[in-house]
């Protein structure tokens, strides 16, 4: 599904969806090249390193897939075609790693192929993007087990 291409990223948590146990519902993509030999990662905005595009599923979005595509546009400047739901992945951070700005989350990831990379996107000043083969991406995501699990659930060529 094509996201509504807005000029700026959404901010704040006023419209954030939460699960039955109070966990923040987060949607994300594993954006693959057409041949599935590479994945597009983006720089984390809060820490050094690389992550998959992801963010909060908001109340005005009908599906987590809609939220994942919007986040991919805002953070990576990509238009994607979702291929499959990779399922839910629980947050594995310890209580000492949770903060007001990073509460416990339930992640839902989708595998997608990148249809188009735009030259300008909402978070281009904050984030670089980089295509990586599986081995490089696996190493880049090693500190984020939920993101690594999403990558491993995808059909990227290993």
pLDDT digits (tens, 9 = 90+) for 33-86: 999 999 999 999 777 799 999 999 999 999 999 999 999 999 999 999 999 999
To which residue do tokens 């000492």 refer?
Answer: 96
Q: Which fold has domain 24-153?
A: Nucleoside Triphosphate Pyrophosphohydrolase (3.90.79)
Q: What is the pLDDT of residues 81-117, one digit of tens each?
A: 999 999 999 998 888 878 777 778 999 999 999 999 9
Q: How far apart are CA 41 and CA 37, in angstroms?
A: 13
Q: How far apart are CA 49 and CA 51, in angstroms?
A: 7
Which element (helix H / strand E) includes 29?
Answer: strand 24-32
Q: How far apart are CA 136 and CA 39, in angstroms?
A: 10
pTM score, whole prediction:
0.89
Six token digits for residue 147: 């993101």
Tell me how crowded residue 67 is: count the other CB atoms within 10 A of its CB: 27
Six token digits for residue 135: 């081995």
């Amino acid at each position: 599904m094509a996201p509504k291409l807005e000029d700026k990223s959404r901010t704040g948590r006023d419209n954030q969806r939460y699960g039955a146990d109070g966990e923040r519902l987060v949607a994300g993509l594993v954006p693959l090249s057409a041949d599935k030999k590479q994945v597009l990662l983006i720089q984390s905005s809060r820490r050094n390193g690389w992550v998959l595009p992801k963010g909060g599923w908001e109340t005005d979005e009908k599906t987590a897939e809609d939220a994942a595509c919007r986040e991919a546009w805002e953070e990576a400047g990509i238009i994607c075609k979702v291929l499959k739901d990779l399922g839910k992945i629980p947050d594995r951070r310890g209580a000492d790693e949770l903060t007001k700005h990073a509460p416990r989350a339930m992640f839902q990831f989708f595998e997608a192929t990148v249809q188009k990379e735009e030259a300008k996107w909402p978070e281009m000043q904050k984030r670089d993007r980089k295509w990586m083969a599986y081995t490089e991406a696996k190493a880049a995501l090693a500190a984020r087990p939920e993101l690594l699990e999403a990558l491993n659930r995808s059909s990227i060529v290993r």
